[in-house]
Chain A
Amino acid sequence: MSSAVESGTNAGSVMAQVGDNIIHHVSNSSVDHPLIHLPKIFGIDMSITKHVLMLWIVAVIVSVTVIIPIRRYLRGSKVVPSGMANLIETVIVFIRDTIVRPNVGPRWVNTWSPLIFTLFFFIFFANAIGMIPIFDVLGLADRFVFHTDSHSFLNQLLHGGTTATGNYNVTAGLAFITFFSIMIAGTLAHGFIKHWINLVPHGLAWPVYIILIPIEIIGLFVKPFALTMRLAANMTGGHIALLAILSFMAIFGEMFHSVAAGMGVAIISVPMAAAISGLEIIVILVQAYVFTLLSAVFIGMAINVHH
């Protein structure tokens, strides 16, 4: 909400600014003012925006959190892992036994498990970082303590939301991985041509195929698209709801032209925002689980074809 605080005293009423502030707060930093400006390569702007930075931060955190304890366990002499490796093993065994093995089948479990683990851990950490208000605290510190210039790196870091997976481009990238994994899984299991033949069930009357083949081809693209939008919409939706509830204080304060009205609404607004934050924590876990589960189900559908 620091952006609302900063621009609240400018021209224009609060009501007119609330919508813009909320959208500004959940979306990426603007492409015209990225964090670090890089040149265009083949016409693609390679500048580092906030979501790119958050993707790198999440990648570093996931790598450090998973690789270091596992290496320590592998180098050590204990049979049963302890500490962080124990936690990671619990999650991995759960995912492998309830998500991967029932869908993919025992023959291909070890082939596709690493991909599913990576998807789960990455999406979970990327979602969870969005709930930690590091950059809002930095914004407060910047506004009241540091007073940096308005185009400094710190200030540009504060524009836009930190949930990288709230950006549909990021989740589209993840859905691309699933899309190609489905094709690779079918090719590995059945061969390249048989995989496409398996797209439609066999043994039907030939007029049915005229409708069925376009439907299956459309379904091939709709399934990853649904994965994309489900994750992106869940993440941004939660944040928009949270910000809208917190904006009530400013809106009521302006509607009644008194600060006391705004503070009175805070009695309702802040507990509701806390409740929605609790719901968001559940949604984070669930959405990571659902993306992983659906990827495993689609890969399994390409491997075990039984219509």
Chain B
Amino acid sequence: MENLHYFGAAIGLGMIVIGAGLGISKFTAAAAESIARQPEAADKITGAVNLPLFLLEGVAILAEVFVLLIVLMK
């Protein structure tokens, strides 16, 4: 019972991956669709999607760091 924090960390990590996967896939789907509608705007769309994409990835990495903190420091 004293190793319960490992269990919590593992479940948390899975949820982080699900969250990041859902968010990034929504972004990519919207970007691909809008580039298909208007190929001339491909650069602008890529530029517009870039920033929130990396912010979301940053959130996922930050959460992974906290999970690692749970595992390493009891």
Interface residues of A (CB under 8 A from B): 23, 98, 102, 226, 229-230, 233-234, 237, 286, 290, 293-294, 297
B17 adjacent to chain A (CB < 8 Å) = no
B67 → chain A, closest Cβ, in Å? 11
**Which residues on B sit within 8 Å (CB–CB) of A297?**
51
Enumerate 13 A-B pairs (CB-CB under 8 Å) in ascending A order: A23-B72, A226-B58, A229-B62, A229-B65, A230-B57, A233-B61, A233-B62, A233-B65, A290-B58, A293-B50, A293-B51, A294-B54, A294-B55
**Cross-chain contact B54 with A286 (CB below 8 angstroms):** yes
Interface residues of B (CB under 8 A from A): 47, 50-51, 54-55, 57-59, 61-62, 64-65, 72
> Which of A102, A237, A294 is close to B61, meaning CB atoms less than 8 Å apart?
A237
A98 to B50, CA, bound (A): 12
A226 to B72, CA, bound (A): 21
Overall SS of chain B's interface: helix
**Cross-chain contact A233 with B64 (CB below 8 angstroms):** yes
Q: Kindly list 8 other residue pairs between chains A and B, CB separation below 8 angstroms, not including A226-B62, A290-B58.
A: A102-B47, A226-B59, A229-B62, A230-B57, A230-B62, A237-B64, A293-B50, A294-B55
**Cross-chain contact A293 with B54 (CB below 8 angstroms):** yes
> Which of B47, B50, B51, B58 is close to A230, meaning CB atoms less than 8 Å apart?
B58
A113 → chain B, closest Cβ, in Å? 18
**Cross-chain contact A229 with B54 (CB below 8 angstroms):** no
A233 to B16, CA, bound (A): 15
**Which residues on A sit within 8 Å (CB–CB) of B55?**
294
**Which residues on A sit within 8 Å (CB–CB) of B64?**
233, 237
A244 → chain B, closest Cβ, in Å? 12
**Cross-chain contact A234 with B54 (CB below 8 angstroms):** no
